Amino acid sequence: MIKQIPYRYKIPLDDIEKINISIEAYQKLIAFYEEWLEKNGPYDYVVERICALTSEYCEYLFAREFAREGARTFESTADTYSSVKRDFKKHFPKLEFIAPGVSNL
């Protein structure tokens, strides 16, 4: 059975600003739900939403670090995904890495 591939490997790294905007949006959503819990008390749905949003938020944090590392390679598109591919191969050695938005045809 193949483990589910984390979302961080599917997020396009070409636009770090878009990644940063997504991170800010997740921060605001999580803060909203946390404030709601403080005002209204425990509610299972809200706790589950916080957990789900936090997981997605973390994936974007990983993607931002991958993008930053790729940016240090002088913005070469070929090198942008090299660290991501290296990390992917470490966790999924039998699978082929396909960079988001890049066809394998």
- pLDDT confidence of residue 88: 87
Q: What is the token pair recorded at 92?
A: 């999924």
In the predicted model, residues of the chain with pLDDT beneath 50 are: 1, 74, 103-105
List, in sequence order, the alpha helices (H) in 1-105: 16-40, 44-71, 77-80, 82-91
> Which pLDDT score, from 0 to 100, does residue 57 have?
97
**What does the pLDDT read at residue 1?**
46
pLDDT at 71: 58
| pLDDT of res. 68 | 84
pLDDT at 32: 98
Exposure string for 31-52, b = 16+ CB within 10 A, e = fewer: eebeeeeeeeeeeeebeebbee
- Residue 49 makes CB contacts below 8 A (sequence gap 6+) with 33
Position 87 scores a pLDDT of 85
